[in-house]
Structure 1
Amino acid sequence: MTMRILLIGAGGVGSAFAAIAARRDFYEAIVIADYDEARAARAAEDDPRFASARVDASSEASVAELCRTHAITHVMNAVDPVFNMPIFSGALDAGADYLDMAMSLSQPHPEAPYSKTGVKLGDEQFAAAVEWEQAGRLALVGMGVEPGLSDVFARYAADHLFSEIDELGTRDGANLRVTDEEDNEVFAPSFSMWTTIEECLNPPVIWQDGEWHTTPPFSEPEVFDFPEGIGPVECVNVEHEEVLLMPRWVDAKRVTFKYGLGDEFINILKVLHTLGLDRTEPVRVKAGTGGHCEVSPRDVVAAVLPDPASIGPRMVGKTCAGLWVTGTGKDGEPRSTYLYHVVDNEWTMREYGHQCVVWQTAINPVIALELLATKVWSGTGVLGPEAFDAVPFLRLLEDYGSPWGQRDDEVDGG
């Protein structure tokens, strides 16, 4: 079957996806769809195999109609996860396979949010697994960089490096700086602020001894030494999909996700929360004409900050995504290994014209789609990256010109 992809979202990650995919030949066509069709058209200029369209990502019917109109075989979701379920359901309704880079949203436990889980990330999607299996269709969820590549690393570690895993610890850090025209450092998140607020202010989830539990935001700070010149960065617990995905396919006593946010970013997030500016429910405000309108405070915060797709020329440094694995190696000895992927913003801007964080996110679903197109990966139901062989993926990552790394730390076996 010839692969025809519907890419929903032409923002930072979607545009980078298009630029990467333009260099590959495993598909017949890509339709790039966005609520702003002009933005989709700009992203579609990369390749004659690309076309553009307008889509309402909040409408299952709109997604399904586009799929049928363009004979789509695979839907690639590159918008904020608030739209996951309409896109996910629309793809299934149209008989297409589906990929995303962030899973359906969580809802904290109503009485004990910092100790018990409520609705977990991905619960809504996994609830539909049987429906996808019966339809013979695949929903590959969490296939970005984190989640995504980190989950591929978990599969690789379990299959090739460890006989028993104590902890799968995703550790994400960077030394990126964004400056203004006078070279003053400015606050400009390199990824969707809407998504960043969601994952950083929700109760983080930890997998421990066979069950999930939660903890307060920014808990368990630790300094992690990142490779390739990034150096030590303080990391804290953040809600993320890896913790909900990895234990479903990989045996580990503990699974965590910690992000190197930095003091400034943490303080800004705390202030947004204190002021209620992290809320998604619309509030009634005065309009410029003297009337009133309803807006979501979080949407306003995202709108007033620089578009992550636009900050690449003013950004310097590297970003690192990786998985720190501890346990017992295949040789029966204690082992500590960090599997990682470092990307330099100068390189991605020069080679692709996209900043490193969105580029690093976008390359992974392109690789996954190539593996699906060539039948190296196959499956039905709702599956995470851990459900597939890691080696072909990591080989293709190198073939795309962006190698991964491995650092083995000394362990006291006594």
Structure 2
Amino acid sequence: MKKNVLIIGAGGVGQVVAHKCAQHNRLLGDIHIASRNINKCLAIIDSIHEKGALQNRKGVLKAHRLDAMDTHATRELIEATGAQIVINVGHAFVNMSVLQACIETGAAYIDTAIHEDPTKICETPPWYANYEWKRKALCAEKGVTAILGCGFDPGVVNAYAALAVREYFDQVDSIDIIDINAGSHGKYFATNFNPEINFREFTGQVWSWQDGQWKSNKMFEVKRTDDLPVVGQQTAYLTGHDELHSLSQHLDVPNIRFWMGFGEHYINVFTVLRNLGLLSEKPVRLDNGQEVVPLQLVKAVLPDPASLAPSYVGKTCIGNIVKGTKDGKPREVFVYNVADHVEAYAEVGSQGISYTAGIPAAAAAILIAQGVWDVRKMVNVEELPYQPFINLMNDIGLPTQIRENGEDALVSFSDEALAAAA
């Protein structure tokens, strides 16, 4: 059984992961938090103590300064802390360096998004094959557990897709992943997570999996409106997203799409920034000779996503609309979670978007520590048993519901089902 956790990243998601790991530190052991800005790590530790979140009050909880782009420094920190589980919730640019450090030390690796090259936006699919999947054979050879994309989307929605394909349908025709944030932070304009990563998702081509092949659209070109549980009528736009790249390869489903909700104000501001060239990742030279990356400048002037939490109100609704046939008849289900911004802040000091991304990563660490997900190879979430994952999230803050024919029910699994999945 593995124990001792190193969390890389001290933003809003890192705060949620740290709180949830602290709540389970009798199982997980020592908890270490690392970032380039050690003060952010110390602030998270203070918040854990303030809320009395440490299950074992005498447990180790330490902060470290780390440039996670430096594989050697990351490896040294893993070895110095004795961490056997590394949760990478840092910038998507550091995935490959942290993964390599885990391969070299034997520590289990968890992340929440695909690696990104700072100089490239919206690369040709499938992104995992461009980066992480190139280390699959090495992980298997070294017996290193590497769980990719274990946030909510990607992550939980991958588990929902596997659940639907394997238990609710004989044949699945389409999976539409819907991500709605019906909350309000009260700011003129802000992003719910790292602005640089957020904008990069939406400035290039939109790739979706349709009729068994990749199709390209423009951002905000295609939209849909759905009547969803709790949040009601919501409009979402076809968007490229991480989970499409693994689900399209692992599930025999011809149509897999991702839709994200945007308000008109967000779209208008985004469009102005893009048209002015302020979302470019390419450096520009000022009159004084200084070089500036416009996208990084915009990031610097926008509110820190973590600062939005105290004033955030409203709810999120994220899930999969799945259509296909069962016993020769058409069937449609919506597997989903609803999270509350105010409740998330009260528990862990973060807003709901961070809460939904952080809990699954902490759940993966718990399942690795228990041996349930310690698979000693590289996998995406849909390749793992979803039953213990969904049950655990029900217990620690993200309950899964299913809607069919207007009726909602909790999704949970019996001890017999868990044993069968093991």
TM-score when scaled to structure 2? 0.88
* Letter of the structure 2 residue corresponding to residue 234 of structure 1: T
* Cα distance, 1:233–1:152 mapped onto 2, change above 3 Å: same
The CA distance in 2 between the partners of 1:283 and 1:153, in whole Å, is: 43
* Cα distance, 1:107–1:246 mapped onto 2, change above 3 Å: farther
- Which residue of structure 1 aligns with residue 113 of structure 2? 102
1:319 equivalenced with 2:316 (yes/no) = yes
1:301 equivalenced with 2:298 (yes/no) = yes
* Cα distance, 1:306–1:108 mapped onto 2, change above 3 Å: closer
Alignment of 1:138-217 (within 5 A): 138-179=145-186, 186-217=188-219
Which of 349, 360, 363 is equivalent to 1:364? 360
The CA distance in 2 between the partners of 1:196 and 1:314, in whole Å, is: 21
Q: What secondary structure sits across from 1:201 in the alignment?
A: coil
Q: What secondary structure sits across from 2:28 in the alignment?
A: coil
Q: What secondary structure sits across from 1:62 in the alignment?
A: helix
User: Displacement, 1:292?
Assistant: 4.8
User: Displacement, 1:353?
Assistant: 2.0
The percent of aligned pairs where both chains have the same amino acid is 29
The CA distance in 2 between the partners of 1:83 and 1:276, in whole Å, is: 26
Which of 54, 63, 70 is equivalent to 2:74? 63
- Which residue of structure 1 aligns with residue 266 of structure 2? 265
Q: What secondary structure sits across from 1:202 in the alignment?
A: coil
Q: Judge conservation of contact 1:106–1:118 (CA < 8 Å) in 2.
A: no
The CA distance in 1 between the partners of 2:105 and 2:294, in whole Å, is: 34
Q: What secondary structure sits across from 1:327 in the alignment?
A: strand
The CA distance in 1 between the partners of 2:126 and 2:276, in whole Å, is: 25
Alignment of 1:212-227 (within 5 A): 212-227=214-229
- Which residue of structure 1 aligns with residue 97 of structure 2? 86
* Letter of the structure 2 residue corresponding to residue 392 of structure 1: P
The CA distance in 2 between the partners of 1:266 and 1:127, in whole Å, is: 36
User: Displacement, 1:107?
Assistant: 9.6
The CA distance in 2 between the partners of 1:257 and 1:106, in whole Å, is: 22
User: Displacement, 1:90?
Assistant: 2.1
* C-alpha RMSD of matched pairs (Å): 2.1
- Which residue of structure 1 aligns with residue 411 of structure 2? none
The CA distance in 2 between the partners of 1:49 and 1:103, in whole Å, is: 30
- Which residue of structure 1 aligns with residue 252 of structure 2? 251
User: Displacement, 1:245?
Assistant: 1.5
Q: Judge conservation of contact 1:108–1:119 (CA < 8 Å) in 2.
A: no
User: Over residues 170-212 of structure 1, what are the superposed CA-to-partner deviations in whole Å (9 max), with x where a residue is unaligned?
Assistant: 1011221122xxxxx5222222211110112231221123332
Q: What secondary structure sits across from 1:155 in the alignment?
A: helix
Q: What secondary structure sits across from 1:278 in the alignment?
A: coil
1:126 equivalenced with 2:136 (yes/no) = no
Give the aligned length: 394
The CA distance in 2 between the partners of 1:189 and 1:231, in whole Å, is: 22
Q: Judge conservation of contact 2:359–2:397 (CA < 8 Å) in 1.
A: no
* Cα distance, 1:308–1:195 mapped onto 2, change above 3 Å: same
- Which residue of structure 2 aligns with residue 182 of structure 1? none
1:408 equivalenced with 2:410 (yes/no) = no
Q: Judge conservation of contact 1:316–1:346 (CA < 8 Å) in 2.
A: yes
User: Displacement, 1:273?
Assistant: 1.8
User: Displacement, 1:252?
Assistant: 0.6
Query: Which runs of 5 or more structure 1 residues have no equivalent in the other structure?
Result: 180-184
User: Over residues 391-411 of structure 1, what are the superposed CA-to-partner deviations in whole Å (9 max), with x where a residue is unaligned?
Assistant: 11111111114322111147x
Q: Judge conservation of contact 1:107–1:118 (CA < 8 Å) in 2.
A: no
Q: Judge conservation of contact 1:129–1:381 (CA < 8 Å) in 2.
A: yes
User: Displacement, 1:387?
Assistant: 0.5
* Letter of the structure 2 residue corresponding to residue 170 of structure 1: I
Query: Which runs of 5 or more structure 2 residues have no equivalent in the other structure?
Result: 49-53, 407-422
Q: Judge conservation of contact 1:189–1:308 (CA < 8 Å) in 2.
A: yes
Q: Judge conservation of contact 1:107–1:120 (CA < 8 Å) in 2.
A: no
- Deviates further, 123-132 or 27-36: 123-132
